[in-house]
Amino acid sequence: MTMRHSGIGMTSSRTRQRMIDRLRDQGIRDEGVLAAMYEVPRHLFVDEALASRAYDDVSLPINYEQTISQPYIVARMIEVLRASTTRPIKRVLEIGTGCGYQAAVLAHVFPEVYTMERIEPLYQRASNKLRDLKIENVTVRYADGSAGLPESGPFDGIILAAAAPEMSAVLRGQLAAGGRMVLPVGRQEQWLYLVERTEQGFRESKLEPVKFVPLLMGKA
Ligand code: SAH
Protein backbone atom coordinates (compact mmCIF):
# COMPACT_ATOMS: atom_id res chain seq x y z
CA MET A 1 0.00 0.00 0.00
CA THR A 2 1.39 3.40 -0.92
CA MET A 3 2.53 5.74 1.84
CA ARG A 4 2.17 8.78 -0.39
CA HIS A 5 -1.23 9.81 0.95
CA SER A 6 -0.69 8.86 4.50
CA GLY A 7 2.42 10.28 6.07
CA ILE A 8 5.21 8.31 7.63
CA GLY A 9 4.12 5.39 9.74
CA MET A 10 0.40 5.95 9.24
CA THR A 11 -0.37 2.58 7.82
CA SER A 12 1.97 0.76 10.14
CA SER A 13 0.61 -2.35 11.72
CA ARG A 14 1.23 -0.70 15.11
CA THR A 15 -1.12 2.17 14.34
CA ARG A 16 -3.85 -0.21 13.32
CA GLN A 17 -3.18 -2.55 16.21
CA ARG A 18 -3.58 0.37 18.62
CA MET A 19 -7.06 0.97 17.24
CA ILE A 20 -7.93 -2.71 17.67
CA ASP A 21 -6.61 -2.75 21.25
CA ARG A 22 -8.71 0.31 22.03
CA LEU A 23 -11.82 -1.30 20.52
CA ARG A 24 -11.25 -4.30 22.81
CA ASP A 25 -10.93 -1.97 25.79
CA GLN A 26 -14.21 -0.38 24.77
CA GLY A 27 -15.89 -3.78 24.90
CA ILE A 28 -15.87 -5.03 21.30
CA ARG A 29 -15.58 -8.82 21.48
CA ASP A 30 -16.35 -10.11 17.98
CA GLU A 31 -13.02 -11.28 16.53
CA GLY A 32 -14.43 -11.21 12.99
CA VAL A 33 -15.25 -7.52 13.34
CA LEU A 34 -11.87 -6.75 14.92
CA ALA A 35 -10.06 -8.57 12.10
CA ALA A 36 -12.04 -6.70 9.45
CA MET A 37 -11.28 -3.35 11.09
CA TYR A 38 -7.61 -4.22 11.17
CA GLU A 39 -7.69 -5.04 7.45
CA VAL A 40 -9.64 -2.09 6.03
CA PRO A 41 -7.32 0.91 5.42
CA ARG A 42 -9.36 3.62 7.14
CA HIS A 43 -6.87 6.36 6.23
CA LEU A 44 -7.67 5.90 2.53
CA PHE A 45 -11.29 6.90 3.14
CA VAL A 46 -10.57 10.37 4.57
CA ASP A 47 -8.90 13.48 3.12
CA GLU A 48 -5.13 13.41 3.03
CA ALA A 49 -4.98 16.24 5.55
CA LEU A 50 -6.86 14.11 8.10
CA ALA A 51 -5.13 10.81 7.39
CA SER A 52 -2.90 11.07 10.46
CA ARG A 53 -6.02 10.99 12.64
CA ALA A 54 -7.81 8.23 10.75
CA TYR A 55 -7.19 5.56 13.42
CA ASP A 56 -8.09 7.76 16.38
CA ASP A 57 -11.45 7.11 18.02
CA VAL A 58 -13.12 10.13 16.46
CA SER A 59 -15.57 10.90 13.71
CA LEU A 60 -13.98 13.04 10.99
CA PRO A 61 -15.47 15.37 8.34
CA ILE A 62 -15.92 13.94 4.84
CA ASN A 63 -17.37 17.19 3.35
CA TYR A 64 -21.00 18.11 2.60
CA GLU A 65 -21.53 18.44 6.38
CA GLN A 66 -21.15 14.67 6.79
CA THR A 67 -18.77 12.60 8.87
CA ILE A 68 -17.15 9.18 8.85
CA SER A 69 -18.36 7.48 12.03
CA GLN A 70 -15.89 6.81 14.85
CA PRO A 71 -14.34 3.32 14.81
CA TYR A 72 -16.10 2.26 18.03
CA ILE A 73 -19.61 2.83 16.69
CA VAL A 74 -18.84 1.12 13.36
CA ALA A 75 -17.54 -1.92 15.25
CA ARG A 76 -20.40 -1.91 17.73
CA MET A 77 -23.18 -1.76 15.13
CA ILE A 78 -21.66 -4.54 13.04
CA GLU A 79 -21.09 -6.66 16.14
CA VAL A 80 -24.77 -6.29 17.07
CA LEU A 81 -25.83 -7.33 13.55
CA ARG A 82 -23.58 -10.39 13.66
CA ALA A 83 -24.85 -11.52 17.05
CA SER A 84 -27.89 -13.12 15.39
CA THR A 85 -28.71 -16.58 16.67
CA THR A 86 -31.84 -16.98 14.58
CA ARG A 87 -30.55 -16.49 11.07
CA PRO A 88 -27.17 -16.37 9.31
CA ILE A 89 -26.64 -12.79 8.18
CA LYS A 90 -25.75 -12.83 4.48
CA ARG A 91 -27.43 -9.95 2.69
CA VAL A 92 -27.04 -6.56 4.35
CA LEU A 93 -28.31 -3.07 3.53
CA GLU A 94 -26.48 0.03 4.79
CA ILE A 95 -28.18 3.43 4.61
CA GLY A 96 -25.72 6.31 4.44
CA THR A 97 -22.62 5.26 2.45
CA GLY A 98 -20.70 8.43 3.26
CA CYS A 99 -17.08 7.77 2.35
CA GLY A 100 -17.69 4.03 2.04
CA TYR A 101 -15.62 2.98 5.05
CA GLN A 102 -18.32 1.12 6.94
CA ALA A 103 -19.45 -0.52 3.69
CA ALA A 104 -15.89 -1.81 3.25
CA VAL A 105 -15.89 -3.27 6.76
CA LEU A 106 -19.33 -4.82 6.17
CA ALA A 107 -18.00 -6.36 2.94
CA HIS A 108 -15.30 -8.15 4.94
CA VAL A 109 -17.77 -9.89 7.22
CA PHE A 110 -20.91 -10.36 5.08
CA PRO A 111 -21.13 -11.90 1.59
CA GLU A 112 -23.54 -9.42 0.02
CA VAL A 113 -23.74 -5.71 0.86
CA TYR A 114 -25.94 -2.96 -0.56
CA THR A 115 -25.36 0.65 0.44
CA MET A 116 -27.33 3.82 -0.34
CA GLU A 117 -26.23 7.47 -0.37
CA ARG A 118 -28.32 10.56 -1.10
CA ILE A 119 -25.43 13.02 -1.82
CA GLU A 120 -24.16 12.48 -5.34
CA PRO A 121 -20.46 13.40 -4.95
CA LEU A 122 -20.19 11.18 -1.87
CA TYR A 123 -21.84 8.35 -3.78
CA GLN A 124 -19.37 8.84 -6.66
CA ARG A 125 -16.33 8.99 -4.45
CA ALA A 126 -17.31 5.98 -2.36
CA SER A 127 -18.06 3.93 -5.49
CA ASN A 128 -14.64 4.77 -6.92
CA LYS A 129 -12.88 4.03 -3.64
CA LEU A 130 -14.51 0.63 -3.22
CA ARG A 131 -13.68 -0.20 -6.85
CA ASP A 132 -10.04 0.89 -6.42
CA LEU A 133 -9.77 -1.33 -3.35
CA LYS A 134 -11.25 -4.21 -5.37
CA ILE A 135 -14.11 -4.69 -2.97
CA GLU A 136 -16.57 -6.42 -5.25
CA ASN A 137 -19.41 -7.59 -3.02
CA VAL A 138 -20.81 -4.10 -2.38
CA THR A 139 -23.47 -2.51 -4.60
CA VAL A 140 -23.59 1.28 -4.16
CA ARG A 141 -26.84 3.11 -4.98
CA TYR A 142 -27.44 6.84 -5.37
CA ALA A 143 -30.90 7.16 -3.81
CA ASP A 144 -32.86 8.25 -0.74
CA GLY A 145 -32.36 5.33 1.61
CA SER A 146 -35.36 6.10 3.79
CA ALA A 147 -37.42 4.08 1.30
CA GLY A 148 -34.98 1.18 1.61
CA LEU A 149 -34.19 -1.01 -1.39
CA PRO A 150 -37.18 -3.34 -1.76
CA GLU A 151 -36.05 -4.70 -5.15
CA SER A 152 -32.91 -6.20 -3.56
CA GLY A 153 -34.50 -7.33 -0.29
CA PRO A 154 -35.53 -8.80 1.99
CA PHE A 155 -32.36 -8.30 4.03
CA ASP A 156 -30.89 -10.36 6.85
CA GLY A 157 -29.43 -7.15 8.26
CA ILE A 158 -30.06 -3.42 7.89
CA ILE A 159 -27.76 -0.78 9.36
CA LEU A 160 -28.35 2.98 9.42
CA ALA A 161 -25.41 5.40 9.51
CA ALA A 162 -27.73 8.41 10.00
CA ALA A 163 -30.28 9.00 12.74
CA ALA A 164 -33.93 8.41 11.86
CA PRO A 165 -36.34 10.81 13.60
CA GLU A 166 -38.44 7.81 14.59
CA MET A 167 -38.54 4.06 14.18
CA SER A 168 -39.04 3.28 10.49
CA ALA A 169 -41.82 0.83 9.63
CA VAL A 170 -40.81 0.92 5.95
CA LEU A 171 -37.28 -0.26 6.68
CA ARG A 172 -38.12 -2.94 9.20
CA GLY A 173 -40.65 -4.27 6.68
CA GLN A 174 -37.67 -5.10 4.44
CA LEU A 175 -36.16 -7.43 7.03
CA ALA A 176 -36.33 -11.17 6.41
CA ALA A 177 -37.85 -13.30 9.17
CA GLY A 178 -35.16 -13.63 11.84
CA GLY A 179 -33.33 -10.62 10.41
CA ARG A 180 -32.14 -7.63 12.43
CA MET A 181 -31.74 -3.89 12.02
CA VAL A 182 -29.39 -1.61 13.96
CA LEU A 183 -30.23 2.09 13.86
CA PRO A 184 -29.84 5.36 15.70
CA VAL A 185 -33.20 6.99 16.48
CA GLY A 186 -33.91 10.51 17.69
CA ARG A 187 -33.15 14.15 16.99
CA GLN A 188 -31.23 15.95 19.79
CA GLU A 189 -31.16 12.92 22.03
CA GLN A 190 -30.39 9.76 20.08
CA TRP A 191 -30.30 6.10 21.05
CA LEU A 192 -29.03 3.08 19.22
CA TYR A 193 -31.76 0.45 18.76
CA LEU A 194 -31.80 -3.15 17.69
CA VAL A 195 -34.94 -4.34 15.90
CA GLU A 196 -35.40 -8.07 15.43
CA ARG A 197 -38.03 -9.53 13.14
CA THR A 198 -39.60 -12.48 14.93
CA GLU A 199 -42.32 -14.93 13.93
CA GLN A 200 -44.86 -12.77 15.76
CA GLY A 201 -43.66 -9.31 14.74
CA PHE A 202 -40.83 -7.08 15.86
CA ARG A 203 -38.80 -6.88 19.05
CA GLU A 204 -37.02 -3.62 19.89
CA SER A 205 -34.09 -3.19 22.28
CA LYS A 206 -32.67 0.18 23.29
CA LEU A 207 -28.88 -0.18 23.39
CA GLU A 208 -26.90 2.99 24.13
CA PRO A 209 -26.84 6.76 23.58
CA VAL A 210 -25.23 7.85 20.29
CA LYS A 211 -24.60 10.94 18.14
CA PHE A 212 -25.21 10.70 14.39
CA VAL A 213 -25.90 13.11 11.54
CA PRO A 214 -29.62 13.15 10.66
CA LEU A 215 -31.27 10.95 8.06
CA LEU A 216 -32.51 13.43 5.44
CA MET A 217 -35.15 13.06 2.74
CA GLY A 218 -34.62 13.18 -1.02
CA LYS A 219 -31.49 13.22 -3.16
CA ALA A 220 -28.91 16.02 -3.16
N1 SAH B 1 -21.11 4.91 6.94
C2 SAH B 1 -20.52 6.18 6.64
C3 SAH B 1 -20.97 7.27 7.58
C4 SAH B 1 -21.62 8.32 6.79
S5 SAH B 1 -22.42 9.61 7.68
C6 SAH B 1 -19.02 6.09 6.55
O7 SAH B 1 -18.45 5.04 6.85
O8 SAH B 1 -18.41 7.07 6.14
C9 SAH B 1 -24.08 9.37 7.17
C10 SAH B 1 -24.35 9.43 5.69
O11 SAH B 1 -25.76 9.20 5.55
C12 SAH B 1 -24.06 10.76 5.02
O13 SAH B 1 -23.19 10.56 3.94
C14 SAH B 1 -25.43 11.23 4.55
O15 SAH B 1 -25.41 11.93 3.32
C16 SAH B 1 -26.18 9.93 4.41
N17 SAH B 1 -27.64 10.03 4.43
C18 SAH B 1 -28.43 10.81 5.23
N19 SAH B 1 -29.73 10.61 4.93
C20 SAH B 1 -29.77 9.68 3.93
C21 SAH B 1 -30.82 9.08 3.18
N22 SAH B 1 -32.11 9.37 3.38
N23 SAH B 1 -30.49 8.16 2.23
C24 SAH B 1 -29.20 7.85 1.99
N25 SAH B 1 -28.16 8.40 2.65
C26 SAH B 1 -28.43 9.31 3.61
The CATH number of residue 142's host domain is 3.40.50.150
Give 8's pLDDT tier (boundaries 50, 70, 90): very low
Give 86's pLDDT tier (boundaries 50, 70, 90): confident
Say if 1 falls within a structural domain.
no
Say if 5 falls within a structural domain.
no
Say if 176 falls within a structural domain.
yes
Total of domains in the chain? 1
What's the Cα-to-Cα distance from 159 to each of 19, 81, 211, rounded to whole Å? 22, 8, 15
> Is 13 known to be catalytic?
no
Say if 2 falls within a structural domain.
no
* CA 62 to ligand 1: nearest atom: 8
pLDDT mean across residues, the chain: 94
E strands along the chain, which residues? 60-61, 67-68, 91-95, 112-117, 138-142, 155-160, 175-186, 190-197, 202-210
CB 11 within 8 A of CB 38: no
Q: How far is the CA of 202 from the centre of ligand 1 (A)?
A: 25
State mean pLDDT over 131-150.
98
Please tell me if the CB atom of residue 145 comes closer than 6 angstroms to any atom of ligand 1. Answer: yes
* CA 67 to ligand 1: nearest atom: 5
Please tell me if the CB atom of residue 207 comes closer than 6 angstroms to any atom of ligand 1. Answer: no
Nearest to 213 by CA among 162, 166, 165, 164: 162
State mean pLDDT over 67-96.
96
- Is the pLDDT at 155 greater than 70? The verdict is yes
In terms of pTM, does the model score above 0.85? yes
Range of the structural domain that residue 181 is part of: 59-210
Backbone φ/ψ region at 64: left (φ over 0), alpha (ψ -120 to 50), beta: left
Please tell me if the CB atom of residue 112 comes closer than 6 angstroms to any atom of ligand 1. Answer: no
- Is the pLDDT at 90 greater than 80? The verdict is yes
Say if 90 falls within a structural domain.
yes
Say if 184 falls within a structural domain.
yes
Higher pLDDT, 1 or 189: 189
Distance CA 116, CA 98 (A): 9
State mean pLDDT over 104-117.
98
State mean pLDDT over 181-194.
97
- Is the pLDDT at 1 greater than 70? The verdict is no
Pocket test for ligand 1, best of 50, 216, 219 (most atoms within 8 A of CB): 216
pLDDT at 7: 47
Q: Please, where are the H alpha helices in 8-119?
A: 13-25, 31-39, 71-82, 101-109
Select which of 6, 59, 69, 168 is catalytic. 69
61: three-class secondary structure by DSSP: strand
The CA-based diameter of the chain, rounded to the nearest angstrom, is 55
- Is the pLDDT at 122 greater than 60? The verdict is yes
CB 184 within 8 A of CB 207: no
Please tell me if the CB atom of residue 73 comes closer than 6 angstroms to any atom of ligand 1. Answer: no
Say if 24 falls within a structural domain.
no
* CA 99 to ligand 1: nearest atom: 8
Say if 182 falls within a structural domain.
yes
pLDDT at 136: 97
pLDDT at 3: 46
pLDDT at 10: 54
